[in-house]
A and B are shown apart, each in its own frame.
Chain A
Amino acid sequence: MTVQQKTRRPSSRSKFSLLSLFEAMATPHALDRYLELVDPMTTVRDLRGEVTAVHRSTADTVTLTIRPTHQWQGFEAGQFVQVGVVIDGVRHTRCYSPACSQYRDDGRIELTIKAHPEGLVSQYLHGNAYVGLVVSLSQADGTFHLPSPRPDRVLLISGGSGITPVLSMLRTLLDEGYSGALTFLHYAYTENDVSYRAELDAIAAENDNVRIVLAYTDQESGGDLHGFFGTEHLDAVAPWYSDAETYLCGPPGLMRGVKSVYADLGLSENLHLEEFAAPVAVVAEDAAGDVTFSDSDVVASNSGRTLLEQAEDAGLTPAYGCRMGICFTCTSVKTSGCTTNVKTGEKDSEPHKKIQLCVTVPVGDVSIEI
């Protein structure tokens, strides 16, 4: 009888109950808090990734291949993941879009990261990433991806390191045997700034329906196009653009240019884009700009008081305790903008950072999740 019961029980359930027994034994700590001390890649719940290859394709970019742990649910071409690395004791997290096809057979993801002059994480990864480095990962997220069924005609536009999500779309479509018209228009300063050039050439050679167009903004010879984006570029590379879906990712200038051209043409509906958060300039310390309380849809002009007081002045009631920076009851996520900690005088312009409302003053435009 016992044997019968045993065979009837689905194995996933018994695995689950064994797991919950282990979790009860580890309570109140998560099992991963034990496992990570032995091997950071052996995790029950947390998603992590191990760098399995590091390749520096241009002077300022690095391409990492990452093997995620078993919790990884895959991604759709165009989406991003959050990658976390420890720099001087602090875990910093940034969003990157995989550049590989969503069907990559080994299940690994490929990230190409451009080292920005002020980019703490990108600089770190460019300089220090090594095979075996374990990073923290989030599941893929973001609404920038291809619809299904796939459109008949697709125009992909990218600039600089914005190449990664649209390259992923290109590779994914090719893996699907896509037969519609497909143009990939990429902007770079010069030919030396193009990541994946060899790969792009190979794709163009192998696929009749795919057109790869390289446009250089700082170089007048070579490549296919020169100068900045405009309707003439569109006419030249994808005359069918008004019947196509366009996917765009790149630096703010390119984004603005394409957006205004599409708006003029009345085609904004067909344009899909991934916005890079523009780096925030640290402005002089005075009460300027607006404070956005994003969860409650309230915007107030910055009065120079602490964020806790400003939220209360705006009629909101965030949780607080000591109102002097001790108890962390008021901790909230600053999504964007620059702030000063009045206790330390420290300025902070990192997005998605937890701050204590009661001892933090906004500098310029700031958005807070309250």
Chain B
Amino acid sequence: MFGIPLSAVSLPFFGSSAKAEALTPTVLSYEQVQELGRELDELRARTVAKLGDTDREYIYNIVKTQRGFEIAGRAMMYLPFLPPVWLAGVGALGVSKILDNMEIGHNVMHGQYDWMREPGFNSEVFEWDTVCPADQWKHSHNYMHHTFTNIVGKDRDIGYGILRMDEGQKWNPYYLGNPVYAFLLMTFFEWGVMLHDLESENIIQGKRKWHDVKPLLQGMWRKAGRQVLKDYVIFPALSGPFFVTTLVGNVGANLIRNLWTYSIIFCGHFPTGVQTFTEEETADESRGEWYVRQMLGSANIEGSPLFHIMSGNLSHQIEHHLFPDLPAHRYPELAPEVKVLCDKYGLPYNSGGFFKQIGSVWGKIFKLALPNSLTGSEPTVGVIVERKKVAA
């Protein structure tokens, strides 16, 4: 039996810290965890049984909407002498790219629509409108991040190899630039996502060899080349005398998408109250324990139905991490049931408005620029999971 701390920081407490002892942690027995796992499996099965025409119509409607925004946006950019129209065009193209990346790309590439057996919606062949090649993203995201969610040292989404997002990451003077790196990552987010699977810090440390990296670079060159050609050469060229305004507009649309996707994604795992884990804590996890880790390691954002669509339903990050391959538009209907289970087992259900969540993310980015000794840690109520080693 040992504890998984629930705090903004990963301070492993085993009942030894005086501060931690003052709080009453939730204790989940081995049997409770297994039972919770079973209940979540059932919830999943009930949802899978419902999949059909409505889900198909939903995703086709989203695609239609996205295509509409894309075409309208590109068309409106032909009228740069009417500034409001041009601006609306940039906005519409930005919206189109957000929908393409989040509610369509991210979710399709999770295999959420593979059951339709429709070539245009198949996770193996789908490509999205961003510079990161789909196959590399599926490795770094679907595999690394979703399997090892919030395990410090394994989940490379903790700080993307650039930022210090957890107290468990050792501080060094490089991290004084944490807010600057975060700002740059936000601005150039699609490029950051592209470089993610390279594990550049491992290349610098000599842990990755050229033959590991070469195919990745070739894939990036191909994919990013096409994206750049389309947005920064072909469409501007097609607008003739308006080359520059179209170019600027396309940069703007990509930037809108970058700021938004970065913010939504950082709200999913880094606000206050989200837990991180160590490799030892999570060795030989059972399915129930895996579920618990997903719930404690994710955070939701509250908002309107439109907000959820624009965030690819990653505003339901908890549900997404429990059931990454269920069509995301089902998460809102799953959320109340997940919350009931959390209440039943005394687990936290981390949810808050956009400004609250993003505020606490930036707070953490600034705070963790400094060593722990300067800022102090604030452990809060933890969840203790009783673990029995699975007999070999």
Contact = CB atoms under 8 A, between A and B. Distances in A.
Contact of B116 (A24, A36, A90, A322): A90
A89 B114 contact: no
A343 interface: yes
A289 to B, nearest CB: 26
Interface in A334-355: 343-346, 354
A327 B138 contact: yes
B143 A329 contact: yes
B154 interface: no
A28 B226 contact: yes
Contacts of A89: 51-56, 115-116
A37 B67 contact: yes
B145 to A, nearest CB: 10
B227 A344 contact: no
B142 A30 contact: no
A25 B234 contact: yes
A25 B235 contact: yes
A148 interface: no
Nearest to B134: A28
B127 A90 contact: no
Contacts of B115: 89-90
A345 B45 CA distance: 9
A93 interface: yes
Interface string A19-40: 0010011011110111011000
B175 to A, nearest CB: 30
Nearest to B144: A321
B118 interface: yes
Contacts of B287: 324
B371 interface: no
Interface string B127-170: 11100000000110011001100000000000000000000000
A326 B147 contact: yes
Contact of B114 (A46, A88, A354): A354
From A25, A89, A91, A324, residue with most partner B Cβ within 10 Å: A89
A327 B230 contact: no
Given A86-B56, A89-B56, A90-B115, A328 B142 contact: yes
B226 A24 contact: yes
A59 to B, nearest CB: 29
Given A37-B67, A328-B123, A27 B230 contact: yes
Contacts of B56: 86, 89
A251 to B, nearest CB: 27
Interface in B192-232: 223, 226-227, 229-230
B386 interface: no
B53 A29 contact: no
Nearest to A30: B120
B104 to A, nearest CB: 10
Contacts of B67: 34, 37
Interface in B216-266: 223, 226-227, 229-230, 234-235, 238
A325 interface: yes
A272 interface: no
A21 B117 contact: no
Contact of B64 (A37, A90, A329, A344): A37
B129 A28 contact: yes
B302 interface: no
28 contacts: A21-B234, A24-B234, A32-B120, A33-B63, A36-B120, A46-B119, A86-B118, A88-B52, A88-B53, A89-B51, A89-B54, A89-B55, A90-B115, A90-B116, A90-B117, A322-B146, A322-B147, A324-B290, A326-B146, A326-B147, A327-B142, A328-B142, A329-B138, A329-B142, A329-B143, A331-B111, A331-B123, A331-B124
Label chain A's interface by main secondary structure.
Answer: loop
B325 A325 contact: yes
A92 interface: yes
A345 B119 CA distance: 26
Interface in A150-183: none
B1 interface: no
A328 B230 CA distance: 30
B324 interface: yes
A343 B118 CA distance: 23
A166 to B, nearest CB: 31
A328 B137 CA distance: 13
Interface of A: 21, 24-25, 27-30, 32-34, 36-37, 46, 86, 88-93, 321-322, 324-329, 331, 343-346, 354
A328 B121 CA distance: 14
Contacts of A329: 138-139, 142-143
Contacts of B238: 25
Contact of A327 (B120, B147, B223): B147
A29 B130 CA distance: 11
Contacts of A88: 52-53
A28 B147 contact: no
B354 to A, nearest CB: 27
B23 interface: no
B118 A91 contact: yes
B48 interface: yes
Contacts of B234: 21, 24-25
A28 B223 contact: yes
Contacts of B119: 46
Contacts of B235: 25
A29 B127 contact: yes
A344 B226 contact: no
Given A37-B67, A89-B55, A326-B325, A28 B128 contact: yes
Nearest to A354: B114
B127 A28 contact: yes
Contacts of B143: 321-322, 326-327, 329
A224 to B, nearest CB: 44
A346 B51 CA distance: 14
B51 A344 contact: no
Interface string B355-376: 0000000000000000000000
Among A29, A32, A326, A327, the most chain B Cβ lie within 10 Å of the Cβ of A327
A32 B120 CA distance: 9
A343 B111 contact: no
B254 to A, nearest CB: 14
A322 B147 CA distance: 6
Contacts of A93: 117
B111 A328 contact: yes
B230 to A, nearest CB: 5
Question: Which residue, of B117, B139, B223, has the highest number of chain A Cβ atoms within 10 A?
Answer: B117
